[in-house]
Structure 1
Amino acid sequence: MKLTKYAGTLAGRELGVELGGGTLGMDDFIEDFYALDGFADTEYFETLKRYGVDTENGIDSCDVEHAGLDLVRACITWCVRGDRFCDGCLRAYVECGFVDRCLLRLKEPDEG
């Protein structure tokens, strides 16, 4: 999956940092996220509620290591969309490791 290439790489990156032949910064992650046709969960808030994720104080306590693809998609969508409403939201979820946990789960075969 196109997004999994960012696993473990986002936390130390700034927007537009050059990496050899291109960039792997936050702007590229966001662009790739929106380019994945059908990946974004347009009903992410409802998906999180359906799985009992407490969104009151953020979602970084969500057990994405054991989540299915639909919940991981909702979590990543929450982080990316949240940044449109609150500047720095995505960066905060990247820095605390939550986005990496989601991306690493996408790399694993679905167990259920």
Structure 2
Amino acid sequence: MKVAGFSPVLGAVSAMLVWAAHFLVIYTVQATLCVRIGSGHEVLGLPLIPATVLGLTAAALVVVVIIGLRARNRLVSGMSGQEGEDEPQFTLWMTMAIALVSALAIVWEAVPVLILPPCA
């Protein structure tokens, strides 16, 4: 069994990278919007800041679900890697587990948006 260099590791941690990017982006966007325009604006009847954060959260969750499902599909289909290389089952299982934990972390980050005032 031959595994190509960095690719399996990057696949395994890609969901964590999405979580980290989501964390950085939602807090940066919220702080920027609070400073620039305040919390009084609305989009489609929803306050602008919570709507933006929830949209970014939905996008991040979609990406993490795709990462987890891709690993699951590779596991079910026999772990065929690129160019005939095999990927260890451990890496695929870890990718799915990390995707699940990352999805929970992304939801956890978005919960304060629903509970607290946007620019408190």
**TM-score bracket, shorter-length normalisation:** 0.3 to 0.5
Choose 1 or 2 for highest CA Rg.
Answer: 2
Instruction: Name the one with the larger helix percent.
Output: 2
Q: Greater relative contact order (Cα 8 A, min sep 6): structure 1 or 2? A: 2
Give the TM-score of the pair, scaled to structure 1: 0.35
Give the TM-score of the pair, scaled to structure 2: 0.33
